[in-house]
Chain A
Amino acid sequence: DAGITQSPRHKVTETGTPVTLRCHQTENHRYMYWYRQDPGHGLRLIHYSYGVKDTDKGEVSDGYSVSRSKTEDFLLTLESATSSQTSVYFCAISELGAGPQETQYFGPGTRLLVL
C-alpha cells in the first residue's frame, strides 16, 4: 500500500469556520491531488500540486485553497466552510503525473460535515 495518510479522518464543523485537512505521503511522489467525492458526481478535482510551492486549480476550486511547503505534505483549507462543502475528501499521489503511465494512489479519505 502506498504510504498516504489523511488527517483528520472525520470532522464536524460549523458554517463559517476555517478548516484545514492534511495529506501526508512517505513515497516522495512529485504530484499530489485533492478530490471531493459526492453522490452522483464521482470524484472531482479541487486542486493539485506538481512540486513544492507549485499548485494549480482543478474543476471545483472555488472556496478552497492549498499549500505545499514540503514534498510530503499537501494541505487543503476551507477558509469559511459552507454546508455545500460537506463531502468526503480524498488525497491522491502520483509519481509521473497525468498521462499514459498515470497511476494515482489514494488516501483513506476525510469525512467532513459542515452544520
Chain B
Amino acid sequence: GDSVTQMEGPVTLSEEAFLTINCTYTATGYPSLFWYVQYPGEGLQLLLKATKADDKGSNKGFEATYRKETTSFHLEKGSVQVSDSAVYFCALSGSARQLTFGSGTQLTVLP
C-alpha cells in the first residue's frame, strides 16, 4: 500500500538557518504530493503541493520538488523564522484516493 516516510524530529534551528525536511514515498501509479503544516493548538493547513513529476510547489518561502526518480518530496526553506515553528507533515494522494500522511516533523526555530 501507499506509505510516506519523513525524517525524524524534532529539528531545532536558529533564525535565518536553512531548512530541509526529508520526505520519501512509496505508491503505485502517479500520486500527488503535499506538505501540510500544523501550528500549536490548531488543525493542519495545506502548505504546498505538486501533482506530477518535476513539479515544484512553493508557498511562504517554502519549496518542494516532486522527484519521481528518487520518490522524494523534500521540503526546503532558505531562511527560517521563529514563526515557522510548527509540525510539518508530508502526504500523498495515490491509488487508494485517500490522503496518506507521514508521521510529522516538529520544527523549532530559536531567535
Contacts and interface: CB of A to CB of B under 8 A. Distances in A.
A42 B97 contact: no
B49 to A, nearest CB: 7
A90 B102 CA distance: 16
Counting chain B CB atoms within 10 Å of each CB, which of A42, A92, A106 scores highest?
A42
B89 A42 contact: yes
A102 B43 contact: no
A103 interface: yes
A45 B103 contact: no
Nearest to B4: A42
B70 interface: no
B17 to A, nearest CB: 25
A100 B51 contact: yes
Q: How large is the interface on A (under 10, 10 to 19, 20 to 34, 35 or more residues)?
A: 20 to 34
B99 A104 contact: yes
A23 to B, nearest CB: 11
A29 to B, nearest CB: 14
A107 B45 CA distance: 10
Nearest to A50: B97
A41 B45 CA distance: 18
Contacts of A90: 43-44
B93 interface: yes
Interface in B41-76: 41-46, 49, 51-52
Interface of B: 4, 32, 34, 41-46, 49, 51-52, 89, 93, 96-99, 101-104
12 contacts: A43-B44, A44-B101, A45-B99, A90-B44, A92-B43, A100-B51, A102-B32, A102-B93, A102-B99, A103-B46, A103-B49, A109-B43
